[in-house]
Amino acid sequence: MAEKLIGKLYGIGVGPGDPQLLTLKAHRILSEVPFVAYPKSRMGRESYALSIALPHINQEKQELLGLFFPMTRDQEKLEREWNEVVSQLWQRLSQGHDVAFVTEGDPLMYSTFAYMMTLMGQLHPEVEMEVVPGVSSVNGAAARLALPLADKDDRLGIIPAIDDREAMKAAIASHETVVFIKVAKVLDMMINILEEMGLADKAAVVTKVSSGQERIERDVVKLKGETLEYLTLMVVKNK
């Protein structure tokens, strides 16, 4: 069989934490590709996506490729750093090697993979790409809470929590269910809002859902003053 000239880039959703929540397709690709790329933290923190993927990888035969993801607001620096990420991937792809890039949850939901995919398409349109969807943290949390997210004509919102009380209140008022992602940095404000709206008992907060470090809190008022991890979401069922 002729050798491939250019490798394929896979965006693999590894799910929210439990390595068994990977799709069969993600498992197959992760166990076959020569390179598994993952977002690496400059602070030395372990990659959550990689920790989920590791049980599916044979490190004696496959190579891990940690890529530093840009964390700056400086537009020029950002572009330079993103180009560097794409160039590291292109180095392997241009030699005919397939690369699987792992993302926690789903790769196309609030994920930097989407940006990388667009940039790769612009800089190297000859690269074939395939996205393998993953179980998102939203679905993972609903399952662990045994909470039906939506039914019939219910409106379901997935909203990044921000420091804007009125916008957050409006989001709750206009959906039967809201999943607030990125909630940790405004947790106290969100709990105050729930109390004001009389909805504190209609919410739950979940951290690192389905993983070995999972935390579920149904009594959200108890969390006031706590600093929770970035991988935390809040579900509010206003019904």
Ligand X SMILES: C[S@@+](CC[C@H](N)C(=O)[O-])C[C@H]1O[C@@H](n2cnc3c(N)ncnc32)[C@H](O)[C@@H]1O
Name the site residues for ligand X (rule: CB under 6 A). Answer: 16-17, 103-106, 109-111, 136-137, 181-183, 206-209, 230-233
Between 7 and 15, name the residue whose CB sits nearer to ligand X: 15
**Nearest distance from residue 97's CB to ligand X, in Å?**
25
Between 2 and 146, name the residue whose CB sits nearer to ligand X: 146
Q: Which of 237, 177, 178, 234 is nearest to 207 (CA)?
A: 234
Q: Which of 140, 239, 157, 229 is nearest to 199 (CA)?
A: 239
**Nearest distance from residue 18's CB to ligand X, in Å?**
9
**Nearest distance from residue 222's CB to ligand X, in Å?**
18
**Nearest distance from residue 231's CB to ligand X, in Å?**
4
**Nearest distance from residue 14's CB to ligand X, in Å?**
10
Between 127 and 206, name the residue whose CB sits nearer to ligand X: 206
**Nearest distance from residue 211's CB to ligand X, in Å?**
6
Between 14 and 93, name the residue whose CB sits nearer to ligand X: 14
Between 62 and 112, name the residue whose CB sits nearer to ligand X: 112
Between 37 and 209, name the residue whose CB sits nearer to ligand X: 209
CB atoms within 10 A of CB 170: 12
**Nearest distance from residue 165's CB to ligand X, in Å?**
19
Residue 216: HSE in the Cβ half-sphere, 13 Å Cα cutoff: 15
Between 99 and 179, name the residue whose CB sits nearer to ligand X: 179
3-class SS string, the chain:
CCCCCCCCEEEEECECCCHHHCCHHHHHHHHHCCEEEEEECCCCCCCHHHHHHHHHCCCCCCEEEEEECCCCCCHHHHHHHHHHHHHHHHHHHCCCCCEEEEECECCCCCCHHHHHHHHHHHHCCCCCEEEECCCCHHHHHHHHHCCCCCCCCCCEEEEECCCCHHHHHHHHHCCCEEEEECCHHHHHHHHHHHHHCCCHHHEEEEECCCCCCCEEECCHHHHCCCCCCCCEEEEEECC
